[in-house]
Structure 1
Amino acid sequence: MTHALPARDVPAWERAVTPRTLLRVSVVCFLAWVFSVYDYTLFGTLLPKIADSFGWSPAKATSVATWVTLGTFVIALSVGPLLDRVGRKRALVIAIIGAALSSGFTGLAAGAVTLVLIRAFSGFGYSEELVNTVYLNEMYGKARRRGFMYSFVQSGWPVGALVSAGLTAVLLPAVGWRWSFVIAVIPSILVALAATRLPESPAFAALTEVRRLRSNGHATEADDLAQRVGLTVSGEAKATLRDVFAPGLRRHTICLSLA
């Protein structure tokens, strides 16, 4: 007669993801996306007020916005390697906190240079779509309502834009543009705290174990585990920014950068 192992003794990559866990993950990812978009669109909404306070011409404000976009792109490139280096859940937390800090420090901007440097880190929030895509895909697995739940999370974009517009209309006359950014930190920090309580995805847990086995010289066991859980990676190499310039991706990266 066999007995089931206690849940804590079952390897993380073999634990069943319950519907309740899926719902919790989906809600947190939805809120994280909402407030990342909130921060991202808040800058565009308040740029005219920022320009007025610094005495910028429309051309100067447009130039600042262009450099902010470039900085956002550079920061966003770091999120992909981060996913494979620290895990899906931690990458989610880092993306949320990055967006929150970008919001908060925007309220302290002293001019064009500091504003560009600070707003570049909003790239963490903008790249949260990538984090959500990878994390949710691995958590949902073959869930029957996978498409519906994923579309629910992605609906955070219009919701975040509406929240940004609504709260700006309420807060701007009362506290000004600086405090509008500072206040945006609060919901993001609360969501980040909630994200720390989420489980890591089974796929990344298995990938971590494969890497551990390989580093300890157990290549056969690592290959067996990778095959059993359906991993298509070797588990040996860590992702780096150079990977986006690999032969299979180089053309896409260069074209996107030029665009």
Structure 2
Amino acid sequence: MELVEGRRWVRPLCWSAVLLDGFDLVVLGTITPVLLSGKVWGYTPDKAATVATVGLVGMTIGALLIGTVTDVIGRRRALLVAVSSFSVFTLLCAFAPSVEVFGLLRFLAGLGLGGCLPTAITLVTEHSPRGRNGGPTTLIMTGYHVGAVLTALLGILVIPSLGWRAMFVIGAAPALVLFPLMLRHLPESPVFKGDRPGLDAVKSLLRPGFRRPTLAFWITSFMGLLLVYGLNTWLPQIMREAGYPLGAALSLLLVLNAGAVVGLLVAGRIADKVPMRPVTLGWFAGATITLALLSIRLPAPVLYVVVLLAGCFVFAAQVLVYAYVGRVYSADNRATGLGWTAGVGRLGAIAGPILGGALLSAGLAFPWGFYAFAFVGLLGAIAVSLVERVSVRLPGERRTADRLGKTGSTGSAEHA
């Protein structure tokens, strides 16, 4: 009875933790114009790019470290550490005296935030019915986009009256409610044993049988997050280069993210009814096709529909990768697998804005920007098609993660 009661808290608490990722995606974009125009700390576009990059590097390291440690100390404790550390360093960003300190704090906040996503997805996966983690995973990832939209709206309302530093105070404030709730109500995974050293969990990812899906997931996640961050960063400017007015270019960004929420809800339902590989492959193929279509000058109504569909496919494709990882790995190395998949993917998050910026600087943003992003989507589709069944039994594992097997929350490879 206590376990059932605890499970009711898993999804809302994990959703709230993922919402912090959405805040972090947008917050720098809301304050950067203020820092540049006010010449705060002698802020320049180059310094802004450096700060953004070190934050993403922190997330990469955090995903790798906390994802691995989660298989040692437990999912619940790891998520508590991730949320609390991110919130503390985000609050300190509000009092940064220089760009160097600000960058360091963004890096440290990224360490905690990087661990939120893989740990939250692991908990949701292991509290979901057998073979039914697709819907729950995509559902909690809507928190990412809700957080992004709320942060953008807060920037409009808060910065003119309270200043840019208030954004970081607001970003840290949810922990005042979220942390006590997690401390009291968040249950540990029913399959966590705590008897597997972290280094062994990492090594297991590259053992025969796991090696091929591991590498395929890493490549797919890299491509997926390259698209997510590249499009969120550069879509408005690319559309401006194509001749669209600024208002239309910005509205297309909102349509893109609205499509993301729709895509997540639809993809999750489908993924719980059919095997994961064709669903994930189909979503990357859809991303490839819609991004290629954006290279054509389309009538306004058609353009908005295509951008909406691109949002449906691009963002949900990446989340389906996380759900797929949750089904392929076992309880012994699931959090590590998710952490390393997310961590390698963060390298794609760094590469996406760099790719878009390089094309813009070369005067090739339209149509070659969309050709490039479509090609990235194609590479993601090819990579996910290489994921194969896993036939390795790890020490202490009850069942083999086999796409043909029936598993419960201890190893959800059913429909993989």
On whether the aligned pair clears a TM of 0.5, the verdict is yes
Deviation at 1:183, TM superposition (A): 2.3
Deviation at 1:161, TM superposition (A): 0.4
Aligned: 1:142 with 2:127: no
1:230 matched residue in structure 2 = none
Specify whether residues 241 and 142 from structure 1 end up closer, same or farther in structure 2 by C-alpha distance, changes over 3 A only.
closer
Match of 1:115 among 102, 118, 130: 102
For 2:344 and 2:178, the matched residues in 1 are separated by: 35
Q: In structure 1, which of residues 189, 192, 197 is the aligned counterpart of residue 176 of structure 2?
A: 189
Check conservation: 2:17, 2:120, Cα contact below 8 A: no
1:95 corresponds to 2:55: no
CA separation in 2, counterparts of 1:255 and 1:21? 32
Write the mapping of 1:129-168 to structure 2, written as runs, cut at 5 A. 129-142=117-130, 146-168=133-155
Structural RMSD (CA): 3.0
Taking the aligned partners of 2:51 and 2:138, their CA distance within structure 1 comes to 33
Distance 1:149 1:245, change over 3 A: closer
Per the alignment, residue 202 of structure 1 pairs with 190
Cα 1:47–1:241 shift into 2, 3 Å: farther
1:53 and 2:13 equivalent? no
- The 8 Å contact of residues 32 and 96 in structure 1, kept in 2 or not, is answered as yes
Are positions 1:105 and 2:92 aligned together? yes
Corresponding residue to 2:21 among 36, 41, 58: 36
The answer (yes or no) to whether the contact 1:32–1:188 under 8 Å persists in 2 is no
Deviation track 1:93-128 (CA, whole Å, cap 9, x = no partner) reads 111112212210111212222112111123222432
Task: Using structure 1 for the length normalisation, give the TM-score.
Answer: 0.71
* Cα distance per residue 1:128-186 (max 9 Å; x no partner): 22111111111114286x43333221110110001101111111112111122112211
CA distance in 2 between counterparts of 1:31 and 1:199 reads 15
Report the counterpart of residue 57 of structure 2 in structure 1. Answer: 70
CA 1:126–1:81: 2 relative to 1, 3 Å: closer
Unaligned runs of 5+ in 1: 1-6, 8-14, 212-234
- Residue among 198, 205, 222 paired with 1:238: 198
Partner of 2:246: none
CA contact (8 A) 1:71 1:117 kept: no
The corresponding residue for 1:231 is none
Q: Runs of 5+ in structure 2 lacking a partner? A: 219-339, 352-416
Taking structure 2 as the reference length, what is the TM-score of the superposition? 0.46
Distance, in Å, in 2 between the alignment partners of 1:23 and 1:245 is: 31
How many corresponding residue pairs? 215
State whether structure 2 residue 73 is matched by structure 1 residue 86: yes
What is the distance in 2 between the residues matched to 1:238 and 1:203? Answer: 16
Q: Is the 8 A contact 2:93 2:165 kept in 1?
A: yes
Q: Distance in 2 between matches of 1:186 and 1:89?
A: 21
> What is the rounded CA distance, in whole Å, between the counterparts of 2:28 and 2:99 in structure 1?
13
Contact 2:19–2:147 (CA<8 Å) still a contact in 1? yes
| Secondary structure of residue in 2 paired with 1:203 | coil
The percent identity for this pair of structures is 25
What is residue 128 of structure 1 aligned with on the other side? 116
Read off the aligned partner of 2:97 and give its amino acid letter. A
